[in-house]
Amino acid sequence: MTTLLLSHQICVRHEMPGSPESPARLEAIEQALQSEQFSSLQREDCPQARKDHIALAHGGDYIDAICDLTPEKGYFAIDGDTTLCPHSYEAAMKAAGGAVRAVDAVMSGEVNNAFCAVRPPGHHATKHQAMGFCLFNNAAIAALHARKQHGAERLAVIDFDVHHGNGTQDIFWDEPDMFYGSTHQMPLYPGTGAVSETGAGNIVNTPLKSGADGAKIKEAFNDRLLPALFDFSPDLIVISAGFDAHIDDPLAGLRLTTQDFRWLTLKLAEFADNHCDGRVVSLLEGGYDLRALGDCVATHVDVLLDAGL
C-alpha cells in the first residue's frame, strides 16, 4: 500500500483578494511534491462531495446559503476574512469530496493513509457559520463519514494548526465518541480553545503562548494530547494539518521548524500504527509562508509515505 494524495485544480481557482489564504498555497505544495521521492504517491483528483456528505456536519439551510451566496461574477464577502468567488462553492465541495474519498480509501484498506491538498480549509467552519477562510469543515465531515459509512465507532481529529479549530470543536461538542485534540496559540483568533472547554469530555485543548517552540509543542503532545488519545482509543485519526505554527509564518507567533512538523507527523503515524491499523487521513488547513508551507507539507507527506510502506 501507499499514500493517497488528493487535490483538484478547482481548489486553485477559489480566490479571496488580498488574503494570505491564496491559490499560491496549493501551487507551492504541488511544486514541493514533484520531486522523485514522491513518485510512489497515488495521486487522484478530488471527487465532488454530495450534499448529504456535507450535511453530516452542517445544516441543509447553511449548505444552500453557501451555494446561493456564491456569485456568478465578482466577489461576495461573508466576513472580513472569508470571501466567495464564482468557483468557491465548487472548490469547497471538491475539498470535502477529497476528505470523503480519503476516508473511503483508508477505511477500505485500499491505501494506508492519505493527504488532501485542498482549499478552502475547514476547521473554523461551525455547524452554521463560515469564518476564518473556511466554508465546510472537511475534518469533521471526514470523521462523521467514517462513522456513518464504515461503522467506525470512535473518531479522532488532531489539530496542530496555530489557530484553534473552533468549528470542529463546535460540531463535536456533544459527541462523546468524536475526539477533538488541539495545540494552538492563545490568545489568538478565533478566541476559543481554553483548557476549560471540554465538551462531553471529548475535547482536549492545549493552548501555547506566543513564542513557544518545538520543545513546548512536543511537551504538550507527550504530556497531554497523546495520553488522552490513547485513553480514547480511536479507529481512525484525522489530522487538521495546519503549518502556520512555523517560525516563518506571518499570521502568528509560534516558533516551530520543519523538523518539528516531522516529529508531530511521526508521533501521530506511530500512534496510528500501534492503535488503529495505521489509519490516518490528513487535511490541509493553514500555512501562509509559501516556502515554509511547501517544505512542511513535503516533510509531512514523506513521513506518511514511510508509514504506508
124 is catalytic: yes
Find out whether 26 and 15 touch, Cβ atoms under 8 Å.
Answer: no
What angle separates helix 60-69 from helix 88-107, to the nearest 10 degrees?
140
Q: How far apart are CA 85 and CA 176, in angstroms?
A: 37
* CB distance 46 to 308 below 8 Å: no
Marked catalytic residue, from 124, 145, 163, 184: 124
Which amino acid makes up residue 38? Answer: F
The residue among 253, 255, 267 whose CA lies nearest residue 300 is 267
Report the candidate in 136, 178, 173, 133 with the shortest Cα–Cα distance to residue 157: 178
Task: Spell out the residues 6+ positions from residue 306 whose beta carbon is closer than 8 angstroms to its own.
Answer: 269
- What's the CA gap between 242 and 198, in Å, rounded? 22
Report the SS3 class of residue 205.
strand
R_g over Cα of the chain: 17
Phi, psi (degrees; rounded to nearest 5) at 219: -60, -45
* Catalytic (active-site) positions: 124
